[in-house]
Structure 1
Amino acid sequence: MPVLGLLETDVLYPDLLEDYRSYGHMFRTLLSGLDSHLEFRHYEVQQGELPQDLSECDAYLVTGSKTGVYDDAGWIAPLSDWIRQAFREDARLLGICFGHQILAHALGGHAEKSDKGWGVGNHMTRVEHLPVWLNDDCSHFQLIYSHQDQVQQLPPGARRLAGSEFCENASWFINDQVLTFQGHPEFTPEYFRRLLERRRECVGSDLLDAAMEAISQTNDSERIGRWLLEFIHLPRT
């Protein structure tokens, strides 16, 4: 059975810990509901824990974080070095939100705080280039978003999978080795409400109220979950 390594790059707010535990556990909930045979291993990156042997897992997913790729947190540089080494050694890498950004940044692209402001709520993105290995023909997908930072430049060899006017590089991939999304397939509407209400002042009430009103709309979290699983299960060539 394949093993997914979950590189945890944040700790949830105290009032969310009991119900949600961590971003890694949110991915466990999503993915194990779609594939009961997938196994998981957690790494607490902020505490300096990184995979020592890439054979420990079949693929690795870098989670979201309140930290920016440009911040001076002491764990950012070791994680970036690990990403570059893992990529050189042909590890299979996934990234969500911060993970999407730091994979781009570490592999030669660029991520920074966007002058477009906050992207929050259910956002639709148009598909531009589907990987050849992906068994789907959708033209758009919708996910829950919560971000200020964006990938401004893709790394060498990457292709844009999907984007929008607000978030041009909302998803990208490198062949069958890297797959990333700015949106959050692991988020539920209830988690979004509890997380974002505390950010009302910095997000802005009008923008947040509109996001809260639309957050219960159907989104494509399960579809993207199946894409993640298809990527994890790809045979090695």
Structure 2
Amino acid sequence: MATEELEANAPSDRPTVRMMVLETDEPHPETKSRRGTFGEILHHHFANAGDAHDPPLGIETDTRYVITEKGGTMPKYHEFDNCHALLITGSLYSASSDEPWILDLLALLKELWLHHPRMRFSGVCFGHQLLCHMLGSEIASAPSTDWELGHSKISLNGIGQRLFQTDKPEVYLHQMHQDYVVAPPTAESSGGLLAPGTKVEVWGHSEHTKVQGVYLRGRLFTTQAHLAFDEGMVKRQIQMRVDSGSIEDKEHADRAAETGELEHDGDVAAAAILRFFHDEG
């Protein structure tokens, strides 16, 4: 897939966040025909957050599909020179696997982390796990019957409330994962990527997953849950996993699919990450 640059429909005098989205999967064909690729979906989601920001922000998105074994292209280090931020999408793949493209992506991320000190990193689901894995976290897999699926309550600590700019004790987002981050990365686990004494914070947890996202001021803000899923996406993404045999508990899958229509805080999460990208946290 060729490079695709998307620009928000916003006045040119707006402050602009330049974001590279690394697509690590493709959505269900029906979702793709209705809403576009994951990069396009996220672009429009962040563009809406930019419109709502005070003052409004513009969003420029450079999207790359990076699964090289399926026709993607891994960007080079120098292609990130004009990017403020990087976001990695969700994926069917395991972040700790030895797929060649995943190893290549990890190598690129490490290079950017070391030599692009002002770049801000974010990831959703697989992207969250991959960034934590890069910094030394263990990625484990829940039993096949114990996926965290659909509309889920995420309890916020003080850091989470500050990031999401809310005094509520929780947010609600859609989940779609079996793998999870066991514990946040540490300076000791990071192989030199984090300075001694650096503490990566967890901002929230659910009953299923203790690490729903991590935060390091000025560098890292991730989320296990998805920002931009709508009801149709929830149902189609679950069905894809049932059809592939990944999800074995069909009753659990059916119950989770029915929660796709419930109101969620994807806009709140997108606004929080956008503020982070805009050097506000």
Secondary structure of 1:224's counterpart equals helix
For residues 25 and 67 of structure 1, the distance between their equivalents in structure 2, rounded to whole angstroms, comes to 20
Does the 8 A contact of 1:48 with 1:75 survive in 2? no
Q: Which of 121, 127, 146 pairs up with 2:150? A: 121
Two-structure CA RMSD over aligned residues (Å): 2.0
Secondary structure of 1:102's counterpart equals helix
Secondary structure of 1:230's counterpart equals helix
Task: Please list the CA deviations of residues 102-143 of structure 1 after superposition, one character each: whole Å capped at 9, or x if unmatched.
Answer: 000011112121247211110001112416973443321110
For residues 219 and 160 of structure 2, the distance between their equivalents in structure 1, rounded to whole angstroms, comes to 11
Aligned pair 1:40/2:82, yes or no? no
For residues 160 and 238 of structure 2, the distance between their equivalents in structure 1, rounded to whole angstroms, comes to 33
Aligned pair 1:95/2:95, yes or no? no
Which residue is equivalent to 2:25? 10
Superposed, 1:185-196 pairs within 5 Å as 185-196=227-238
Give the number of aligned pairs: 236
Deviation at 1:15, TM superposition (A): 4.0
Query: TM-score, structure 2 length as denominator?
Result: 0.78
Q: Which amino acid aligns with 1:125?
A: I
Which blocks of at least 5 consecutive residues in structure 1 are unaligned?
A: none
Residues 78/133 of structure 1: CA separation in 2 closer, same or farther (3 Å cut)? farther
Deviation at 1:217, TM superposition (A): 1.2
Does the 8 A contact of 1:43 with 1:51 survive in 2? no
Secondary structure of 2:39's counterpart equals helix
Stretch deviating more after TM superposition (210-219 or 58-67): 210-219
Q: Which of 247, 252, 265 pairs up with 1:207? A: 252
Secondary structure of 1:168's counterpart equals coil
For residues 92 and 133 of structure 2, the distance between their equivalents in structure 1, rounded to whole angstroms, comes to 16
Which residue is equivalent to 1:137? 167
Deviation at 1:82, TM superposition (A): 1.7
Query: TM-score, structure 1 length as denominator?
Result: 0.91
Deviation at 1:51, TM superposition (A): 4.4
Deviation at 1:79, TM superposition (A): 1.0
Deviation at 1:48, TM superposition (A): 3.3
Aligned pair 1:52/2:77, yes or no? yes
For residues 140 and 71 of structure 1, the distance between their equivalents in structure 2, rounded to whole angstroms, comes to 32
For residues 108 and 6 of structure 1, the distance between their equivalents in structure 2, rounded to whole angstroms, comes to 23
Instruction: Report % sequence identity.
Output: 23
Aligned pair 1:77/2:103, yes or no? yes
For residues 263 and 28 of structure 2, the distance between their equivalents in structure 1, rounded to whole angstroms, comes to 26
Misfit runs of 4+, over 6 Å: none
Q: Which amino acid aligns with 1:140?
A: E
Please identify the structure whose Cα radius of gyration is greater: 2
Stretch deviating more after TM superposition (30-39 or 196-205): 196-205
Deviation at 1:186, TM superposition (A): 1.4
Which blocks of at least 5 consecutive residues in structure 2 are unaligned?
A: 1-15, 52-57, 187-198
Residues 138/234 of structure 1: CA separation in 2 closer, same or farther (3 Å cut)? farther
Which residue is equivalent to 1:155? 185
